[in-house]
Amino acid sequence: MKFMIFVPPGGYFAERWSKGSFMPPLGIIYIGTILKNSGIDVELVPAELLNLSWKEIARKIETDKPDILGATSTTENRFQAFKLLKLAKKVNPRVWTVFGGPHASMAAKDTLEHIKEIDIVVRNEGEITSVEIVKALEDGDSYYNLRKVLGISFRDEDGAVIENPRRPYIKPLDLIPIPDRKLIGFREYNFRMDIPGKGKVPALNLMTSRGCPFNCNFCATPVNWGRTVRMHSLERVTQEIELGMKDYGIKAVWFYDDTFDANRKRLEKLCDTFIERKYDINWYAEVRVDILTKPLLEKMVKSGLYYLSFGVEAGSERVRKEIIRKNVDIEQVRNAIKWAREFGITPNPFFIFSHPTETWKEAQETIKLIEEFSPYSDISVSILHIYPGTDLEKTARELRILPEKFTWTKKRDPRIITLPAAQGDVPLLKHLLSWSQISELIFRWNLAQKKVSIWKKAIAAIKNIRSWKDIPRYIIMLFVYLKLKIKKALGWI
């Protein structure tokens, strides 16, 4: 059987990587590699990279006649994946359609109940599951065989949604082979990282672990990957990096682990290896500041680290520890930023606006930290996204922020708030703060950082207006922005 897997065109993440440099999609490269190694005819189609129109996608499906067609998706890009799978069924009603990726893992039943064109949803890790799906469909009695495949949900011959038991996580992680990046046309992605003093250099995105031991209320990682961190051996990690150097001349690595310093001793050994082997690379990672130490950070910098990201999320200790469940102290954040400055690298703290029960007074603590750190940090912010399967989704439903009968498959639901151009097509949590207050937080960050063109975002936002209810929100944002600009010009802020 021929298995064709698409990265759908367009959407929020395609826009983020629209300047001639894309980050290759690791998830489907892993799956494609396993399928290929199992002797299965597989083709990965990065539609966003190839700039394929919907007509061209339809023509390709019609011409190549895959037996199984898959699409991967985050929650931000789910509607592009839905559109592609519907198109596949229209072109060839006999093709088996498979939906995978982070959103699929968290909203399998909701997807199958509302989108009849999707036959199978892969939940969580898809490598072994994908191979078993092919074998099940090859063996004749497809629906019977599918019932034996762990980690999938599917619609049976009568249209009923069947949810098979969860697949155990893959252990040890080295059972997953090094991803064959040639399957996706890695060179064409032209993935680059901008390194101070070196400019934009060829880069590799790489995961050395799966899982996160922590339990932030908004995060899907513990559900998708588990709270036990499974790690590749250091030999496997260095082998993959050295292969990237040899095959693609990479000079930088983007480590895509959720918590890169989850195991301090392992990280120290990895840094020692980079130093001993004299790797001529720079690298980026996300860490927890409550694990980080100054000696460890110094070793990380010596081994090539140039940019360090970490979550702070909220200025209020109550919100941070009781609501988000992030046991991080602000003094630990200040230390991380101070050490980063000492070692000559860029700290990148993350903040989120509008948490459940967060008051305006507590939100002010967040913006004060942002303004304190802005002169010597590259600060990232977002309005709180609601993702399926998370504890935050349960809270949002209890608070009726996600209304009764809400489905993740309906694109235009006027009862929820989204900002597709700026935040992706994901419901935003607005609880105690007013929209005017949330807007002020965003624009005060923008004024402190001076790195985002508000007018470009405004044009994109206008293009994404979905209902008359959206217009008052954008008018409020405009008035708040103009008010802050006037205050800044007068020296009042």
Examine the pLDDT at 177 and tell me if it is beyond 90: yes
- Residue 412 has a pLDDT of 83
How far, in Å, CA of 52 to CA of 69, rounded?
16
Q: Give the integer Cα–Cα distance in Å for 31 and 47.
A: 17
- The Cα 443–Cα 292 span in angstroms is 31
Task: Please tell me which residue, 199 or 421, carries the higher pLDDT value.
Answer: 199
pLDDT at 52: 95
pLDDT at residue 172 in the model: 96
Strand order across the 380-383 sheet: 192-195, 199-206, 252-255, 282-287, 305-313, 346-353, 380-383
Of the candidates 285, 265, 263, 284, the residue with the CA atom closest to the CA atom of residue 273? 265
Q: Are 254 and 205 in contact (CB under 8 A)?
A: yes
Task: Find the largest Cα–Cα distance for the chain.
Answer: 75
Return the higher-pLDDT residue of 486 and 385. 385
| Average pLDDT, rounded, for the chain | 93
On the question of pLDDT at 240 being above 90, the answer is: yes
CA-to-CA distance for 460 and 370, rounded, in angstroms? Answer: 26
> What domains are there in the chain, each with its CATH number?
2-163 (3.40.50.2300), 191-489 (3.80.30.20)
Region 101-116: mean pLDDT is 96
Q: Is the pLDDT of residue 380 over 80?
A: yes
- Model confidence pTM above 0.85: yes
Q: Rg of the chain over CA atoms, in angstroms?
A: 23
Instruction: Give the model's confidence band at 309: pLDDT under 50 very low, under 70 low, under 90 confident, else very high.
Output: very high
Strands (E) in 50-181, as ranges, are: 68-72, 96-100, 120-122, 152-155, 161-163
Q: What is the pLDDT of residues 188-236, one digit of tens each?
A: 999 999 999 999 999 999 999 999 999 999 999 888 888 899 999 999 9
Distances (CA, A) of 431 to 230, 360, 382, 396, 399: 36, 11, 15, 9, 8
Contact partners, residue 493, CB within 8 Å, separation at least 6: 444, 447, 484, 487
Contacts of 120 (CB under 8 A, 6+ apart): 96, 97, 98, 99, 133, 146, 152, 153, 154
The residue among 229, 136, 237, 120 whose CA lies nearest residue 179 is 237
Do 259 and 311 contact (CB within 8 A), yes or no?
no
* Residues 10, 48 contacting (CB under 8 angstroms): yes
Task: Identify whether the C-beta of residue 190 lies closer than 8 Å to the C-beta of residue 23.
Answer: no
For residue 460, is pLDDT > 80? no
- Residue 463's pLDDT is 63
Separation CA 283–CA 299 (nearest Å): 13
State the Cα–Cα distance between residues 206 and 241, nearest whole angstrom: 8
Residue 460: exposure state from Cβ atoms within 10 A (0-12, 13-18, ≥19): middle
Q: How sure is the predictor about 18, in pLDDT bands with cuts at 50, 70 and 90?
A: low
pLDDT at position 100 over 70: yes
Integer Cα distance of 420 and 214 in angstroms? 28
Distance CA 399, CA 178 (A): 44
pLDDT of 142-175, one tens digit each? Answer: 899 999 999 999 998 888 999 999 999 999 999 9
Q: Which pLDDT does position 139 carry in this prediction?
A: 83
**DSSP bridge partners of 45:** 6
| Both structure tokens of 397 | 């439903």
pLDDT tens string 330-363:
999 999 999 999 999 999 999 999 999 999 999 9
First-last CA distance in the chain: 64
Tell me if 85 sits within 8 A of 118, measured CB to CB. yes
* CA dist., res. 470 & res. 409, Å (int): 19
Residue 333: C-alpha distances to residues 171, 256, 285, 364 (Å): 33, 21, 16, 17
- Retrieve residue 6's tokens: 């698409």
Rounded Cα distance between 259 and 266, Å, is: 12
Q: Tell me the CA distances in angstroms from 293 to 148, 265, 289, 322, 336, one per residue in order.
A: 47, 12, 8, 25, 8
Q: What DSSP string runs through 81-104?
A: HHHHHHHHHHH-TTSEEEEESHHH
CA–CA dist 250, 203 (Å, integer): 5
Backbone torsions φ then ψ of 327, nearest 5 degrees: -85, 65
